[in-house]
Every structure is written in structure tokens, then in C-alpha cells.
Amino acid sequence: MEEIAPAAVRGHSVVYAPRIQELLAREEKVFRVDATTVGVSDCDLMAEIVAARPVLETERSVYKPAAGAGIHHDSATRTIRALGQDVMAGIRTPPPPARGLSGAWPYAPTSYLRRWLFSSDPLPVSLLSKRGVTRSDTLSRIVDRAVTVWPGSRAEGGCTALAEQIRGASGTRDRRQAVALYRRATATLCDGVAALAGNALWLMGPAAREQEAARADLTAVLWETLRLLPPAWMLFRKGGDAYTGLHPEIRPTDSVALFPLLMHRHPDYWSDPLEFRPERWAAVADPEKTPGFMPFGFDGARCWAKHLVVPLAERLLTVAFDNRLVIRSPQQNAEVPLRSLLSVRFDAATGA
């Protein structure tokens, strides 16, 4: 990763990938990213762009077409409900041994969450959410084929609601779509929650983590983390005539990149925008109605798992605190690489 001056955060530093750092240095709210892409961090223009047309299937991470066909609305709704059941059931059960949180973050908590929420699924379904499998295209294809022909007798029991959707699918294509939805939904949820919890731990700093008061309002901590280091830091919209009348910089051939990361740090919308201040959310009844704040998208394009992310991240942080998780970083630096999810990278170990 290319060296660049770190940005100070509560006595320690975050080292952004060069392209992210270039974006953070932008003062304009509408600017050209490259020859075919316009970047936007203006609150009102963002709302107009999102409202200009429905989100395309190919612009959604989870519900893009699978098995050669689009994902029907009913199937998407069933998946959201099934995932909600599995998360709520998981939160109520004892967590796995905390030693699973030791190691490289956010990878360690991602694997930990998958084990916590989906380990009850029998082989080969449980392999769908294993990081070692998801990182390999070849292994992913092999496991996908195995699950597609998985007999899934109802006598087996012990399945998550998501796995039940695979077992209950009729026909090969429906099964393939159910497999794709299982993989995408579990990965998106666990990756996003792990990134959010890791970002919160880093922003809180060692002193804050040691104080019992830090637990008093973890929800506020997570909302402030979503403001300063939102995992979903950029939303991409393919170009077209729907946007050309909204701003003179946007041409018919231009795609649009919406940057919550930049909007969340702009002084037009926030006082002391670079300060980590969870107390700013203490009296806010509905954070998502706050102007200049887009942690999960706008109406019509909101994250499908937004109602699960914060409670699960809060539960994960509680487990980390209960087991005295310590960030192992002598220089107090963390890297933020250029990835689809904005997440700091660090090593940690539990003290329990």
C-alpha cells in the first residue's frame, strides 16, 4: 500500500488508501472523478439523484441477477425476513468462545459472526459462509453445486431460516438463486457488521474502551462511527438521461458516484465534523432523518439489512468488551484500503 500522511483521530491515526485520501481532500460537493464519472457529496443533489429513478438490479449487491434471472421482489422479501429471524435468534444465544475475535480485524469478527449465526446449518450449506471458501472462486463454485443438489431432508432439522429457503426451493434455477442469496446475504451482513464494529473500536480509542461508561450508549457510538467511517462509503449509479437535468456537470454518458463519506464530514452539515463525538446523537430520536446523514441510503434505496446491523454490532462490541479485547498496534496506526467496505485494519487479542 502506498505511503501517505495519516489522519489523526483521538491520538492515533488512520492511514487511508491514496485514492480515498484524494477524495477526502476535495472541497467541492460536485466534482469529476474521471472522464466518465461525477462524484457527489451534496445532500440535496444526492436525494434528487436517488429519487430520479429506481435502483437497477445490477446496482444492488445482494439482489443482482443470479442463475441467469432477476431476483423477484417476493424472493428478496423472504430472504430479508429469514435473515432477520436468524440474526435475532443468534443474538439470543450464547456467543462462541471469544478467542475467535483474536487476530486480524475485520476478518476475525467476520468469521466469528458467521460461526455464531450460521454454524447450525449442515454440510454443505454451512460451507457457503466460510471465509476460506468465499475467497476462492473455484471452491465457491464447487460448494454451490453441492448445495444445489443437497437433499435437505426436513428430518435433519437445525437449519437456519436462510437454509430452509434452499431446501424449500423448487427446481434447479430456484435452488441456485436461493444458494446465491444465502451466500450474498450472510457475507454482506457479517462483513458489514464486522467493519462497523472494528471502526467503532478504533475511533473510541484505548482510554474510552477501558471505561465502563463507554458501554452506556453503544448505539450512539455506532451512529457516530457510521458518520465518520461509514462502511458503505460510496454508492454507484449508472449513467443515463435521468440525471442530466439535475446538475450541469453531469452528462448523459456519465455515471454518478455518491459519497456519504464526504457528506458526513462536511462543515455545511456538521459542527466539528472531524471530531468523534457520540454525544451528538444522544437526543436524536431518528438519526436517519438527520440532514447530511446517509448511513444506509435514502428512501427507495436503503440497505436491506439496516435494522439488523446496529443491534448486531452492539452485541459484538459487548462481547469484545466483556472479554477485554485489546488492539495490538504499538504505533497506533490503522490502514484503510480501497475496498467496497470502508474498514480499518488492525490486529487484536482478547484478554479473557
- The predicted structure's pLDDT at residue 99: 94
- List all residues 6 or more positions away from 203 whose beta carbon is below 8 Å from its beta carbon: 9, 10, 221, 224, 225, 228, 229, 276
pLDDT digits (tens, 9 = 90+) for 297-320: 765 556 666 788 999 999 999 999
pLDDT digits (tens, 9 = 90+) for 203-233: 987 655 555 445 568 999 999 999 999 988 9
For residue 233, the SS3 value is coil
Q: At what angle do helices 218-228 and 172-210 cross, to 10 degrees?
A: 110
**Cα angle value 188/193/199 (rounded, 5°):** 125
pLDDT digits (tens, 9 = 90+) for 232-282: 899 889 988 899 899 999 999 999 999 999 999 999 999 999 999 999 998
Q: Say if residue 116 is exposed, middle or buried (CB neighbours under 10 Å; 0-12, 13-18, 19+).
A: buried
- The predicted structure's pLDDT at residue 121: 86
Q: Give the predicted TM-score (pTM) of the model.
A: 0.89
pLDDT at 187 over 50: yes
